A and B are shown apart, each in its own frame.
Chain A
């Protein structure tokens, strides 16, 4: 079946611009996670959605970062007024009830 998809695969933006990253989870998966991975670094948790519950935003690094999930499916991560330190690969994962996460291919964000 279809896996997790993310778009765009690559995004180059100028410092100060806003960007939107999209994630389509596996159909039927109620949990959705966003992570950030910088070069040679581990996975940094950003935000977690579970069904219709309020999201866990505890990993968002600043108020420039926000995310929403519409209809319990597609999610969008928005970064406002991008900074060079925001350059990284942004990964989305979805999960059913077993905590096993299925990751998308990621969006590579470069802020110039």
Chain B
């Protein structure tokens, strides 16, 4: 059974204080690992897809990396507008992606 565990559950940062969110997974045959951002009252917004260990993707202050067991979402010099819940999901043997519970990020000015 595919499993996704995200940590920490919640993270508070000061503006400019870089950090990383973790997504650990177990899967039989990874088809893709996905990161989403969800703002309160809205649906998740797709950020990145990673397909194989060693792959990296970047978008503005966000960089996602992938190993065979986990993915990190690195946030460099975050701003208050980066505050959101970040969701990780994997697509493995099933066509239905498995989602983690998310990390709630708050960036204080």
Residues of B within 8 A of A33 (CB): 96
Q: How far is the CA of A88 from the CA of B40 in the complex (A)?
A: 14
Do A99 and B43 touch across chains, with their CB atoms under 8 A apart?
no
Contact of A42 (CB < 8 Å), options: B46, B96, B97, B101: B101
- Please tell me if A105 contacts chain B, counting CB pairs below 8 Å: yes
Question: By CB atoms of chain A within 10 A, which of B49, B91, B95 has the most?
Answer: B95
- B95 CB contact (under 8 Å) in A31, A59, A103, A104: A31
- The answer to whether the Cβ of B42 comes within 8 Å of any Cβ in the partner chain is yes
Q: Is there a chain B Cβ closer than 8 Å to A63's Cβ?
A: no
**Would you give the shortest CB distance from A75 to chain B, in whole angstroms?**
15
Chain B's closest residue to A53 (CB) is B95
Partner of A104, one of B32, B43, B87: B43
Minimum C-beta distance from A30 to chain B (A) = 11
Docked complex Cα distance between A43 and B4 (Å) = 12
- Which residues of B have CB within 8 Å of A104? 43
**Cβ–Cβ contact A99 & B34, under 8 A:** yes
Q: Is the CB of B96 within 8 A of A91?
A: no
